[in-house]
Amino acid sequence: MEMGLTGQRALVTGSSKGIGKAIALGLAAEGVDVIVNGRHADEVEAVIAAIRQAAPATNPQAAVADLSRAEDREAVIAAHPDIDILVNNMGIFEPMSYWDITPAIWQKFFETNVLAGDALARAYLPGMLNRDQGRVIFIASEEAIMPSGEMAQYSMTKTMNLSLAKSLSKLTRGGQVTVNTVMPGSTLTEGVADMLQTMYADSGLPQSQWESDFMAHHRPLSQIQRLIRPEEIARLVVFVASPQAGAFSGAALRMDGGLVPTIF
């Protein structure tokens, strides 16, 4: 399928690793000029080098910034005032007991996982609406609609992503701009690979069985019984970002391997 994305400009937040990196590479493979973001310059530059190698016709750029900070966000917006595609991917998560969630932790998760994406959408949507072209895509999680209770401070922010995207989609009525959310299930990012290492290094189980054991015991509802690969999420996001996906508006799209056991 011809995606029709060549020459567009995208900001993918938190794209120095994990799902965001796969989205950045996926968009670049379709000819998109991607702005790569993360807090560490060396990791951002490594992704830019990978894009230059895989998609030499594109013009990737760096946005080294802590997007939970208003001043960093303003600097990124000033350096890149016009984009066609905003992927609000950056997010933090940390399992913890509900009783350990202090007001400061609630605040940190709200600022990082909700307010950062809101501020970027607020900055970039007007230009998209004026040009009658653009995409805003939030990356939420199955935790948005099925909180596990393992990290209430995270789950709440992911539910907010869905609500915010739906509200923003109301601003696009009658035009070509869309706002949607993609909800990944458990995905094999570097962070999840590290978590498996921590969980199983001393277990005596061969490494080849860590993933299947994790799925069987910690994600029993998953129908595919494997971790999703970041590239699989990226392919869905690239499609939603493309003109081919113009009929999705305010949608919450699940790619969770069947983890959420309901029809909707």
Burial tier of 113 (Cβ tally within 10 Å: 0-12, 13-18, 19+): buried
Name the DSSP letter for residue 227: P
Contact between residue 89 and residue 135 where contact means Cβ atoms under 8 Å apart:
no
Assess 60 for contact with ligand NAP (CB under 6 A): no
Backbone angle region of 91, left / alpha / beta, with phi > 0 → left and psi within -120 to 50 → alpha: beta
Contact between residue 78 and residue 8 where contact means Cβ atoms under 8 Å apart:
no
Q: CB of residue 65 vs ligand NAP: minimum separation in angstroms?
A: 6
Q: Between helices 152-169 and 103-110, what is the axis angle to 10°?
A: 40
Tell me whether residue 124 is one of the annotated catalytic residues: no
Quick one: 175 or 229, whose CB is closer to ligand NAP?
229
Assess 190 for contact with ligand NAP (CB under 6 A): yes
Quick one: 96 or 192, whose CB is closer to ligand NAP?
192
CA 90 vs. chain centroid, Å, equals 6
Q: Between helices 18-29 and 41-54, what is the axis angle to 10°?
A: 30
Assess 112 for contact with ligand NAP (CB under 6 A): yes
Assess 90 for contact with ligand NAP (CB under 6 A): yes
**String marking each residue 194-233 x if it binds ligand NAP according to CB under 6 A:** ----------------------------------------
Q: CB of residue 25 vs ligand NAP: minimum separation in angstroms?
A: 13
- Cα-Cα-Cα-Cα torsion 109, 114, 120, 124, nearest 10 degrees, comes to 170
Which window, 15-23, 126-134, 167-175, 214-222, contacts ligand NAP (CB under 6 A)? 15-23
Using CB under 6 A as the binding rule, the residues of this chain from 115 to 144 that contact ligand NAP are 139, 141
Assess 245 for contact with ligand NAP (CB under 6 A): no
Quick one: 32 or 90, whose CB is closer to ligand NAP?
90
d(CA 67, CA 89): 11
Contact between residue 182 and residue 117 where contact means Cβ atoms under 8 Å apart:
no
Assess 89 for contact with ligand NAP (CB under 6 A): yes
Q: CB of residue 103 vs ligand NAP: minimum separation in angstroms?
A: 19
d(CA 22, CA 167): 27
Assess 76 for contact with ligand NAP (CB under 6 A): no
Question: Residues with catalytic annotation?
Answer: 154
| Residues that bind ligand NAP in the complex, under the rule CB under 6 A | 14-20, 37-40, 43, 66-68, 89-93, 112, 139, 141, 184, 186-187, 189-192
